[in-house]
């Protein structure tokens, strides 16, 4: 199911316990590091980097693949994807194979075939949204009131 409403996103984020960040980077200037770090330090989720080129990020063990992650830790609740759109179909196939419950395509990670495959497989699917932004909104860190005044 493709999730688009605030209530659907809230339900997903409140139910989730684990997040596997595919394409997480140890480079502090990359959005994939910022999102990983934010989610990890907020303490709401067990957040794990998935990246075949690194051993760890900030002391958190990285896994080469979702398959390696699932073999040791079980299926993640959310697979957060920071990959080129042309590379995400394989990520979706692997997420389905390991039994992930949801796949979250970060801003700009849009691939129609991958979205359809994930949706058809019964995963909760979030497209073109930032997990950090939506998590902050859930925690009260971002207002959804367009009329809010800032002092």
Query: In terms of DSSP bridges, do strands 60-61 and 56-57 run parallel, antiparallel, or are they unpaired?
Result: antiparallel
The reported pTM is 0.91
- For tokens 């140890």, the residue is 26
Residue 31 domain flag: yes
Residue 144 domain flag: no
Q: What is the tally of structural domains in the chain? A: 1
CATH number at residue 83: 3.40.50.720
Residue 53 domain flag: yes
Give percent of the chain with pLDDT exceeding 90: 87
Residue 147 domain flag: no
Residue 149 domain flag: no
Q: What is the pLDDT of residues 33-46, one digit of tens each?
A: 999 999 999 878 99
Q: What is the pLDDT of residues 95-130, one digit of tens each?
A: 999 999 999 999 999 999 999 999 999 999 999 999
Residue 148 domain flag: no
Query: In terms of DSSP bridges, do strands 102-105 and 78-81 run parallel, antiparallel, or are they unpaired?
Result: parallel
Note down the domain range covering 60.
Answer: 6-137
| CB neighbourhood size of 61 (10 A) | 13
Q: What is the predicted pLDDT for the residue at 33?
A: 96
Residue 143 domain flag: no
Query: In terms of DSSP bridges, do strands 60-61 and 46-50 run parallel, antiparallel, or are they unpaired?
Result: unpaired
Cβ burial of 113 (10 Å; 0-12, 13-18, 19+) is exposed
Residue 150 domain flag: no
């Amino acid at each position: 199911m493709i999730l688009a409403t605030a209530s659907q996103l809230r339900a997903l984020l409140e139910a989730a316990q684990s997040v596997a960040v595919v394409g997480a980077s140890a480079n502090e200037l990359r959005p994939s590091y910022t999102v990983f770090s934010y989610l990890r330090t907020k303490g709401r989720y067990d957040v794990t980097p998935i990246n075949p080129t690194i051993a760890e990020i900030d002391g958190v063990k990285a896994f080469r693949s979702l398959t390696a992650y699932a073999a040791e830790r079980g299926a993640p609740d959310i697979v957060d994807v920071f990959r080129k759109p042309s590379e995400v179909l394989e990520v979706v196939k692997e997420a389905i194979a390991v039994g992930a419950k949801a796949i979250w395509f970060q801003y700009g990670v849009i691939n129609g075939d991958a979205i359809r495959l994930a949706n058809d497989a019964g995963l909760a699917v979030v497209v073109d949204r930032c997990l950090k932004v939506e998590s902050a909104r859930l925690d009260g860190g971002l207002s959804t009131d367009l009329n809010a005044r800032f002092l």
